[in-house]
């Protein structure tokens, strides 16, 4: 398999810097889509844009025109305020680069290799939308990547499932000076809810997480707030645990409402991102390709973050590479991580990832026994 040329690597790094300079939120990744699209078209590939009803999703394909495919998944959305603090510019180029590697071997492919652009990983879950619309119905396996603030290379990492909830308390507004007794304070309910969550936290599994913020705490000092709202994330490594947590979370909210004479409503804020299940046989193929680059990736290990790749991983064989972007560990979703994600080291490691993922995709697309092994 042909590695990426120096010119391709430089062009991919420039694409990464371009996406990084133009951070865009979930479902609005128009600049990124434009830049990736122009890049792929320069390299002779046609894009199908807007797949699955998502404006900023796309697909392109090499090998057999029809039939099943091995998929490489690119992400390119950013975070509010911090920009590319999760380094999805690198997920984009490592999978675009992998696709170029596979395209160089197009004539040999028994099944196609696709590059699928999946918007809105940070908020909304674009892969969940695409799954629902059948975009992955003919996908045999999914490969992807994620930059890491740790020093280790990892394949077959698992991840926590997450679900987001919007909790709204409704009370009664009243003059805070002349008639506080007539009010029912919705902010008090939110405060009691947080206290209740804190009391519950020590009972949770070690890896489970509950975290939130007050998104509405009233509007004026002299009015008893009639409406207050908090947004929470709940995470666990097993779906059953998470389901149980969601139930308990609801009971604590009801308790806070009861204490304060308010009403509570819980709505979905973020759809259910399933825990990531890695496919060890697929991971063996990817790890084997990384070893050709002299790396010894760690296998497995729980990433205490969440991704909509989890939903893909419960439907079809999925595995991913986590690659370092910094010599010294940096926290995820931080300004340090953002800056590290356009470093020379980050780009070098993204190219290694691209070559390993591309080579793994070609191996799968040219070896039926291997495809049967990962499917079993
Ligand atoms: Zn991310």
Kindly give the distance from the C-alpha atom of residue 362 to the centroid of ligand 1, in angstroms, as a whole number.
25
Kindly give the distance from the C-alpha atom of residue 148 to the centroid of ligand 1, in angstroms, as a whole number.
9
Is the pLDDT assigned to residue 207 strictly greater than 90?
A: yes
Kindly give the distance from the C-alpha atom of residue 146 to the centroid of ligand 1, in angstroms, as a whole number.
7
Kindly give the distance from the C-alpha atom of residue 101 to the centroid of ligand 1, in angstroms, as a whole number.
23
Kindly give the distance from the C-alpha atom of residue 76 to the centroid of ligand 1, in angstroms, as a whole number.
9
Percent of the chain with pLDDT over 70: 100
- Torsion, Cα 155 282 163 198, to 10 degrees, reads -40
Kindly give the distance from the C-alpha atom of residue 122 to the centroid of ligand 1, in angstroms, as a whole number.
7
Kindly give the distance from the C-alpha atom of residue 364 to the centroid of ligand 1, in angstroms, as a whole number.
26
Kindly give the distance from the C-alpha atom of residue 174 to the centroid of ligand 1, in angstroms, as a whole number.
44
Q: How far apart are CA 298 and CA 192, in angstroms?
A: 43
Is the pLDDT assigned to residue 10 strictly greater than 80?
A: yes
Kindly give the distance from the C-alpha atom of residue 191 to the centroid of ligand 1, in angstroms, as a whole number.
31
Kindly give the distance from the C-alpha atom of residue 87 to the centroid of ligand 1, in angstroms, as a whole number.
7
Q: Would you say the pTM of this structure is higher than 0.75?
A: yes
Please give the pLDDT value at position 228. Answer: 98
C-alpha triplet 326, 331, 332: angle, nearest 5°: 95
pLDDT band, residue 316 (cuts 50/70/90): very high
Kindly give the distance from the C-alpha atom of residue 42 to the centroid of ligand 1, in angstroms, as a whole number.
27
Please give the pLDDT value at position 351. Answer: 98
pLDDT tens digits, one per residue of 356-372: 999 999 999 999 999 99
Picking from 321, 118, 158, the residue whose alpha carbon sits closest to that of residue 239 is 158
Helix, strand, coil shares, percent, the chain, to 5:
40, 25, 35
Contact 332, 149 (CB under 8 A): yes
Over range 325-349, report the average pLDDT. Answer: 97
Kindly give the distance from the C-alpha atom of residue 157 to the centroid of ligand 1, in angstroms, as a whole number.
14
Kindly give the distance from the C-alpha atom of residue 107 to the centroid of ligand 1, in angstroms, as a whole number.
33
Kindly give the distance from the C-alpha atom of residue 89 to the centroid of ligand 1, in angstroms, as a whole number.
10
Kindly give the distance from the C-alpha atom of residue 25 to the centroid of ligand 1, in angstroms, as a whole number.
12
pLDDT tens digits, one per residue of 51-98: 999 999 999 999 999 999 999 999 999 999 999 999 999 999 999 999
Q: How far apart are CA 248 and CA 262, in angstroms?
A: 19
Kindly give the distance from the C-alpha atom of residue 250 to the centroid of ligand 1, in angstroms, as a whole number.
28
pLDDT tens digits, one per residue of 165-181: 999 999 999 999 999 99
Q: How far apart are CA 372 and CA 376, in angstroms?
A: 6
Is the pLDDT assigned to residue 132 strictly greater than 80?
A: yes
Please give the pLDDT value at position 2. Answer: 75
Average pLDDT, the chain: 97
Kindly give the distance from the C-alpha atom of residue 330 to the centroid of ligand 1, in angstroms, as a whole number.
14
Kindly give the distance from the C-alpha atom of residue 324 to the centroid of ligand 1, in angstroms, as a whole number.
13
Over range 35-52, report the average pLDDT. Answer: 98
Kindly give the distance from the C-alpha atom of residue 8 to the centroid of ligand 1, in angstroms, as a whole number.
24
Kindly give the distance from the C-alpha atom of residue 274 to the centroid of ligand 1, in angstroms, as a whole number.
15
Kindly give the distance from the C-alpha atom of residue 298 to the centroid of ligand 1, in angstroms, as a whole number.
19
Where would I find the H helices in 113-208?
A: 126-132, 186-200
Please give the pLDDT value at position 289. Answer: 98
Please give the pLDDT value at position 238. Answer: 94
pLDDT band, residue 294 (cuts 50/70/90): very high
Picking from 22, 157, 9, the residue whose alpha carbon sits closest to that of residue 89 is 22
Kindly give the distance from the C-alpha atom of residue 124 to the centroid of ligand 1, in angstroms, as a whole number.
13
Kindly give the distance from the C-alpha atom of residue 216 to the centroid of ligand 1, in angstroms, as a whole number.
27
Kindly give the distance from the C-alpha atom of residue 147 to the centroid of ligand 1, in angstroms, as a whole number.
8
31 Cβ contact partners less than 8 Å away, ≥ 6 residues apart? 18, 19, 22, 24
Kindly give the distance from the C-alpha atom of residue 352 to the centroid of ligand 1, in angstroms, as a whole number.
19
Contact 97, 356 (CB under 8 A): no
Please give the pLDDT value at position 304. Answer: 87
Is the pLDDT assigned to residue 291 strictly greater than 80?
A: yes
Q: Which residues surround ligand 1, an ion (CB under 5 A)?
A: 86
């Amino acid at each position: 398999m042909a590695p990426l040329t120096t010119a391709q690597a430089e062009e991919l790094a420039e694409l990464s810097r371009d996406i990084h300079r133009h951070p865009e939120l979930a479902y609005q990744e128009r600049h990124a889509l434009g830049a990736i699209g122009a890049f792929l078209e320069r390299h002779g590939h046609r894009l199908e844009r807007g797949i699955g009803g998502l404006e900023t999703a796309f697909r392109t394909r090499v090998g057999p025109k029809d039939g099943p495919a091995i998929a490489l998944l690119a992400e390119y959305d950013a975070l509010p305020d911090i920009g590319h603090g999760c380094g999805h510019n690198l997920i984009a180029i490592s999978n675009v680069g992998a696709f170029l590697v596979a395209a160089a071997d197009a004539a040999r492919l028994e099944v196609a290799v696709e590059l699928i652009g999946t918007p809105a990983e940070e908020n909304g879950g674009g892969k969940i939308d695409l799954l629902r619309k059948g975009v992955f119905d003919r996908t045999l396996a999914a490969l992807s990547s994620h930059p890491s603030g740790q020093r280790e290379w990892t394949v077959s990492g698992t991840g926590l499932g997450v679900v987001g909830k919007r909790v709204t308390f409704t009370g009664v507004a009243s003059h805070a000076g002349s008639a506080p007794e007539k009010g029912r304070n919705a902010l008090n309910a939110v405060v009691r809810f947080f206290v209740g969550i804190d009391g519950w936290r020590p009972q949770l599994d070690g890896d489970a997480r509950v975290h939130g913020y007050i998104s509405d705490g009233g509007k004026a000092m002299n009015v008893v707030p009639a409406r207050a709202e908090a947004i929470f994330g709940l995470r666990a490594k097993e779906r059953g645990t998470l389901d149980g947590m969601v139930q308990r979370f609801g009971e604590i909210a009801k308790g806070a409402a009861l204490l304060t004479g308010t009403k509570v409503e819980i709505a979905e804020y973020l759809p259910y991102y399933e825990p990531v299940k890695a496919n060890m046989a697929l991971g063996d193929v990817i790890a084997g390709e990384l070893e050709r680059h002299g790396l010894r990736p760690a296998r497995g290990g729980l990433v205490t973050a969440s991704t909509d790749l989890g939903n893909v991983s419960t439907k079809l064989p999925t595995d991913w590479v986590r690659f370092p972007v910094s010599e010294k560990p940096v926290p995820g979703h931080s300004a340090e991580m953002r800056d590290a994600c356009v470093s020379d080291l980050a780009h070098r490691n993204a190219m290694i990832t691209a070559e390993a993922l591309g080579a793994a995709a070609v191996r799968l697309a040219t070896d039926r026994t291997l495809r049967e092994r990962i499917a079993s």
